[in-house]
Amino acid sequence: MSRSGRRVMGPLFSSRATTGWKSLIVQERAHEAYVADVSVPAVDAYCLVVVTGGAAFRESWDGHRWSGAEYTKGSATLTAPGRAVRARWRATAAEPFTSAEVLLPYDVVRDAARELGAAPAAPALRDVPYLADEAVAGTTRALLEAGRSGDAGEAYARSAASFLAVHLLTRHADLARDELTGRVLGVFRGAVGRPASLRELAALAGVGESRLAHVVRESTGQSPGGYLIGLRIAEAKRLLIGTTLPITEVGHACGFTTPSHFAASFRRATGLSPRDWRRGYGIDGPPGTPAV
């Protein structure tokens, strides 16, 4: 049950009920279009949630603040064992918002990490708040199809679990464990509220500009400029929804140098003006808010 008192809708499919798979658990859920605040209890497995239909602007609470992004079909989140999740979202597409949850046992990921040469005591994977990975999305779709057909046995589930564990460790563990990557991405997050040049960001991270660009591309799949704009837009969405700041102040707080730069960047990313985005959430802003 969400804190808003609204129900999070039930499963469309659950491997627990239909397949008897033990190597992983897969279930697909339909979600309400708007949930103001929901708490999901911790589980003793890695929880991979992949959007299977629709789209939503989803935010999570890290204990201090809300942060989020636009989640579309195929994008995902990964939560480590023992971590409760507090989230909120609003659907941004007409298609119903659905997601598949894949629970990977800790032992599967630990064994895969050992096969890849990780130290036995090293944490394999930590939380990754946003993944855009076709291999993860495709494997999840295949698991849902196999589960629904009833033709795939435990060997299929075991091989899929092993593949997901190795793939996540190979492609995404550095997002959590690599010190340089963490430092570089942290510099970008710290620059959201002010104008910043690539040269300045590289200096703050203690690397050259080409190295900075390589780290950002490897970890996010985006150029440094695209990644920073994405962070600024995500913060702007948070402020537009969660505050009544005038739109020009929202743009300034997110590092945009002029209202026109903010409006153009926001429209390019969302297809809407900042004011129309805010109105879509039932918020008009304070009197006198410019129609940016």
CATH topology of domain 180-280: Arc Repressor Mutant, subunit A (1.10.10)
pLDDT number for residue 124: 58
Which range is least confidently modeled, 8-17, 46-55, 80-89, 147-156? Answer: 8-17
Long-range (24+ apart) CB contacts under 8 A made by 225-231 are 225/198, 227/188, 228/188, 228/191, 228/192, 228/196, 228/201, 228/255, 229/265, 229/269, 230/69, 230/269, 231/188, 231/189, 231/192
Span 204-218, average pLDDT = 88
pLDDT at res. 138: 92
- Domains 11-176 and 180-280 belong to one CATH topology: no
150 confidence band (pLDDT: 50, 70, 90): confident
For residue 3, what pLDDT is reported?
45
| pLDDT > 70 in the chain, percent | 87
Check residue 171 and give its pLDDT: 78
All residues at 6 or more sequence positions from 192 whose CB lies less than 8 Å from its CB, including other chains: 228, 231, 232, 235, 254, 255
Q: Is the pLDDT of residue 2 over 80?
A: no
Q: What is the pLDDT of residue 32?
A: 93
pLDDT at 7 over 80: no
Residue-level pLDDT at 292: 36
**Mean pLDDT on 99-126:** 77
Comparing 160-169, 172-181, 190-199, which segment has the lowest mean pLDDT? 172-181
Give the whole-angstrom CA distance, residue 277 versus residue 262.
13
Tell me: pLDDT of 285 over 80. no
Q: If you classify domain 11-176 with CATH, what class do you get?
A: mainly beta
Kindly list the domain boundaries of the chain, sorted by start residue: 11-176, 180-280
pLDDT reading at 173 higher than 80: no
Task: Compute the distance between CA of residue 256 and CA of residue 238 in angstroms, rounded to an integer.
Answer: 15
| pLDDT classification of 175: cutoffs 50, 70, 90 | very low
Span 267-283, mean pLDDT? 81
What mean pLDDT, rounded, does the chain reach?
Answer: 84
Task: Look at residue 282 in the predicted model and tell me its pLDDT.
Answer: 54
Q: Residue 133 corresponds to which tokens in the numbers above?
A: 């990975």
Specify the higher pLDDT residue, 115 or 262: 262
Per-residue pLDDT band at 100 (split at 50, 70, 90): very high
Q: What percent of the chain has pLDDT over 90?
A: 42
Sheet of 34-40: strand order equals: 34-40, 85-91, 55-61, 66-72
Least confident of 62-66, 104-108, 143-147: 62-66
